[in-house]
Structure 1
Amino acid sequence: MQVTIDGVTYVSHEDPVWRAENSHLAMVDLAPFDLQGMREQLWLRETVDDGEYEICCLPFYAYGLALGDVVGKSGSENVGTVIRKSGRRVLRIMFAEPRFQEGDSRAVLREVLDAAGLLSEWNGDRFIAIDVPDISVMQPIFDSVQAEIQNGTAFWEWGDSRGFAQA
């Protein structure tokens, strides 16, 4: 979900894949990723080490972060540093508008994700972040959207194609 307040667009996760009972929220300023005026709210849970938090959602826009990564906060509300990587990756797919009835692969993608047992989060009906615990299970995912990528109605990127940075 996205909401704009006083010129700043906030991106939130309505249904984080690892929502914990005692969750924490922290923001990531997206300006270092060329998304000025945007902030992403991430769900975290405290680890056994004081001041360390595990990411419990799949980042839609922040680069260099993935499910299970351990981060530290700068101040009370911002993710400041990556302490440990989980070894997971995030694949992001955006479906362009206008949508064409023939060739819309979103339903097929949902089925393939369910069959593979992969975790995912949608931001609206056009943007999905997919947890990639093991790259070897991804071929059916790529196959399900390949025609749209070739037609220019879907685009993908790896969430770790750039490192994490804070302003």
Structure 2
Amino acid sequence: MENATGAKTSDFIVTPPLYTSAPDNENVLRIVSSGAAHPQDKESLYYLNIKAIPSVDKKALEKHEGGSLIVATLMQVKLFVRPAGLTPSREKAADKLEFTRKGANLNIHNPTPYYLTLIDIKVGTKALQDVMVPPRESVSLALPAGSGGTVSWSAIGDHGEQDKAQRIIP
């Protein structure tokens, strides 16, 4: 596990730490808090790293003439710790985003206690990079030359749904 800054953390225990996954099977990971304190006024972000290492049939490799390539993959999953009773509701959080133009940058301020992930951000017809805005913080994105005065985006919800929205930049 890693925290929001990418540093390894022991705030959670993941079991089993290693397992074999057969084709067409599912595996269940259990994630348990180790008792670390989390802020009660906003979400906390962690990253669960899952590495998939393919098994190797050594006899098949010996029969195979020439080279072979075995690739391990790493999947990173966001884990949000959300205290009970946060307001506004998570469903209304993206409506609270504030967009302002500061010189050649678009400033996005998130006044809510939630992490908000924005994709398909466009100013006019110019696409900007996807971004995750931390709770009660701002991010700044460079505006391409000739970008318009309207920003549109999709916010990713708790279940992966995309809520599209649009706003005029003041």
Q: TM-score, normalised by structure 1?
A: 0.26
Q: TM-score, normalised by structure 2?
A: 0.26
RCO greater where, 1 or 2, for CA within 8 Å and sep 6 or more? 1
Name the one with the larger strand percent. Answer: 2
Name the one with the larger helix percent. Answer: 1
